[in-house]
Structure 1
Amino acid sequence: MSSLPLDIIADVLSRLPPKKLLCFRCVCKPWCHLIDSSDFMKLHLHKSIKSNTNQSLILKHSHLYWVSLDSLDLASEIDHPLMCYNHSVKLLGSCNGLLCICNIVDDIAFWNPSTRKHRVLPCVSLELRRYSGPSVCSLCLYGFGYDKVNEDYKLVRIARFRGIETSFVECEVKVFSLRRNCWKRIKDMPYVCGYPGTNGVFACGALHWVVSRNCTSEEFNRNGSSEEFNVVVALDLAVEDYNEVALPEFGDRNFNLEVGALGDCLCVVANYSNVQSDVWVMKEYGVKDSWCKLFSVMREQMRGLGRSLRPLGYSKGGSEVLVEQDKVNLFWYDLKTKIVTDVVIHDTPSSCEVEFCLLTLTSVNISKRDSGKNQRIADHEKNVKKRDDFLSEGFKLVL
């Protein structure tokens, strides 16, 4: 293959799983440089997304397990990089093959389970200066995603404060940028995030949560028929601002709303108690008329109570959707036959938290070229400031 052009070699290699690519780094130096390059990582990611390949599930109980989406048969236990006296971690999100995890002492890391590389984030504190009297932090939620405009991975933390003497609720929001390697506070979220342990869903460049417009109480009514509830808010990671997502016309408003991602589309699930769950997909992001009902699952088709559904991903051929039910059961839904097939994964606990994860080469570090560029920009801005300060002092002396 040494006589082949490098772009053809790259195209061939980009179709392979990360495990084999890591072995092929030892073939020769040109291959090693190619596989380690950011351009090849992006090519491999693009091919994986387009072909529905290199898909896996991360299962979390007291330990972490990995299983291929192609087989969903036998799971293998994996070690994470945030081991402490308690092995358990929280899964805060998954994006482009990176997992964001947090351990019991609140260490947070971006981790690629395919390459075994990780990066621990700097600590972030709660700002104790509150707005209208004494308050306490009653809930912390997270969201993890990719800012395509700035080519940056970002983690969002929402700290919900409620007043001790009043019923008013406010949500402090901070964003960690991998490119800048720091946290910063942005505008507070003007909504109430409700569900403990519910992470933001990343789709189409934004993180999404189901929220309430009512900021005068911490109560969050999941069965509310009022327009105050069942609102989906998006935080655009590029501009770091909020907007409401226009939802489909559901008809009956008495349901629990869940938000998710399916393929490269935003989706919502309307769970009608003891009747059915409807899965809607937004074909063109931000366009209300592009919502379409992908499928419905009747209660009698599901095991257990069937209170909530969460679509995880398409099968390799795209004819089936893998669905998590009540955070306990998994099943395939066939889009053509409308048949539900239960999934049993051997050698795992009976109930696990599930996170969809691509197998990629995505790096947890900024390349040296990018770091140098950022440093040059920072140095330039610093020099400009020094010049402006000098000129300003000069004018003062003249005056």
Structure 2
Amino acid sequence: MSHSHIPPELITNILSHLPVKSLARFLCVSRQWYDLISDSGFIKKHLNRSVETNRDRTIILLEHDGSHCGNGFSFNFDDDEDQFCNAVKMYPPLQHCDILDCCDGLVCLLKGREEVVIWNPLLRKYRKLPSEKPKGVPDFWLSQFAFCHDHQNDDYKVLRLFQYNDLPIEIKVYSLKSQRWKKVEEPWPNKEICHWESASFNGVVHWLVSDFGVLDKESLLAFDLASEKFKLYTTPVSPDVDQETRLEALGGYLCFVVNVYGEYNDVWVMKEYGVESSWTQIYKIEKVAVPWDFEYYKPLMFSKNRKKVLLEEHWNSNPFPIEYDVEKIHSKNLIWYDIEKKQGKRVQNWSFPDAFRTATCIGSLLLLDGDSVIDPWQRNASPSEGLNLLLKAVDELENEMLEG
């Protein structure tokens, strides 16, 4: 029976269960399949299923050492194995860049102080944002970015803070849907940013702030990308001179981390978003839990049974402005921390780079219409090499269909 006799809704349902790599290949099956797979409704359906099932769970490692800054590696995993599969080399659309954030399979990259790219590493597609470099401003200025999904408008947005001397902070937002920057009219509150690193969650960007010159009264400042309004929340722990506090996103929660160098990482989540009384401590990593010295552990994701959390170990945990030395600020290991047993174990994998930053991804067809990332060695490929690549892809597709 040909596929023309299969009900369209059944074809849609079957295709929505497939991984990104297969769907990218099936775009060339027919015009009908191309229109279906590239339809915004199907892309959203496929993404929702990926979120529910953790399909195509992939970790991107962006290498940060002095000689190979910018090389990318990826590995996918289906369970909570201590030994991940070998990392596969990949090429990001920017070199000498850093990972800003990730959301729904998209990774936001930054190069310098103004070059921003939104990248789908599984599709190898990207979109470069138009430059927003301030005009008529000297070189000494600070800029900070955040990346998040605006659920209300179903739009992916990049937020940019710009500050020069003692002038008020300027806020602009880039919309992936409209493909343009917009200045936010809502003024920045009379607050000082304690850490120039934000946490994006639930369509809201968050910072730790305080009254000017009063660092012992820390608050959580939230900016809603849909309403473009600010709101203040209390934190679960009062600041202390000996501790460092950070914001992260973990397992569907806004996460507050208290770090005391070499002693412990204390981790809280806001169980019910927006409700300050719902702050709950979920784990605490103490010095006896790991047989090595540590500074800061960035939580990446829970295991499927939520009994473990995957952590990114940082050599230098101090928050940094946009001008930083990528050779000094990076991580060197991934760690599984067992919450019940209160034990940490490093992930041993010789295919990982020595120093890296990470992004976690799931299967997503977002940016299917973006520009293609071309590997450097393919840019100089001869026509005969291009034909060999095409024949190899056809062979792989035939083998995949036979195995299925």
Say yes or no: TM over 0.5: yes
Residue 245 of structure 1: aligned partner? 233
Tell whether the 8 Å contact from 1:59 to 1:352 is kept in structure 2 after alignment.
yes
Identity of aligned residues (%): 31
Q: Normalized against structure 1, the TM-score is what?
A: 0.77
Residue 207 of structure 1: aligned partner? 205
Deviation string 1:302-323 (CA, Å, 9 cap, x unpaired) is: 3654222211112234332111
Residue 396 of structure 1: aligned partner? none
Deviation string 1:22-79 (CA, Å, 9 cap, x unpaired) is: 1233344433322211111111211121222322222112112112244633111211
C-alpha separation in 2, matches of 1:55 and 1:280: 24
Tell whether the 8 Å contact from 1:170 to 1:192 is kept in structure 2 after alignment.
no
2:171 to 166, 173, 176: 173
Residue 44 of structure 1: aligned partner? 46
Q: Which protein is bigger by CA-based radius of gyration? A: 1
1:348 to 343, 348, 352: 352
Instruction: Return closer, same or farther for 1:291/1:9 CA change in 2, 3 Å cut-off.
Output: farther
Tell whether the 8 Å contact from 2:60 to 2:72 is kept in structure 1 after alignment.
yes
1:171 CA displacement: 2.1
1:338 and 2:378 are equivalent in the alignment:
no
Read off the aligned partner of 1:34 and give its amino acid letter: L
Higher mean alpha-carbon deviation, 352-361 vs 336-345, is at 336-345
1:365 CA displacement: 5.5
1:328 CA displacement: 2.7
C-alpha separation in 2, matches of 1:243 and 1:340: 36
Higher mean alpha-carbon deviation, 268-277 vs 149-158, is at 268-277
1:117 CA displacement: 1.9
Read off the aligned partner of 1:157 and give its amino acid letter: R
1:257 CA displacement: 0.9
Structure 2 unaligned residues grouped into runs of 5+: 64-68, 315-330, 371-404
SS state of the match for residue 22, structure 1?
Answer: helix
Q: Normalized against structure 2, the TM-score is what?
A: 0.76
Runs of 4+ in 1 over 4 A off after TM superposition: 249-254
C-alpha separation in 2, matches of 1:98 and 1:239: 23
Residue 389 of structure 2: aligned partner? none
Higher relative contact order structure (alpha carbons within 8 Å, sequence separation ≥ 6): 2
Residue 188 of structure 2: aligned partner? 189
SS state of the match for residue 123, structure 1?
Answer: coil
Instruction: Return closer, same or farther for 1:255/1:364 CA change in 2, 3 Å cut-off.
Output: farther
1:110 to 118, 132, 137: 118
Read off the aligned partner of 2:363 and give its amino acid letter: L
SS state of the match for residue 169, structure 2?
Answer: strand
Residue 378 of structure 2: aligned partner? none
Read off the aligned partner of 2:203 and give its amino acid letter: G
Structure 1 unaligned residues grouped into runs of 5+: 130-134, 164-168, 367-399
Deviation string 1:69-119 (CA, Å, 9 cap, x unpaired) is: 44633111211223xxxx322222211111222335843222211222222
- Count of aligned residue pairs for this structure pair: 340
1:286 and 2:274 are equivalent in the alignment:
yes
Instruction: Return closer, same or farther for 1:294/1:206 CA change in 2, 3 Å cut-off.
Output: same
SS state of the match for residue 162, structure 1?
Answer: coil
C-alpha separation in 2, matches of 1:43 and 1:280: 32
C-alpha separation in 2, matches of 1:300 and 1:153: 42
Q: How does 1:287-306 map to 2 (within 5 A)?
A: 287-302=275-290, 304-306=292-294
Read off the aligned partner of 1:144 and give its amino acid letter: F
Instruction: Return closer, same or farther for 1:256/1:302 CA change in 2, 3 Å cut-off.
Output: same
1:276 and 2:264 are equivalent in the alignment:
yes
Read off the aligned partner of 2:39 and give its amino acid letter: S
SS state of the match for residue 189, structure 1?
Answer: coil
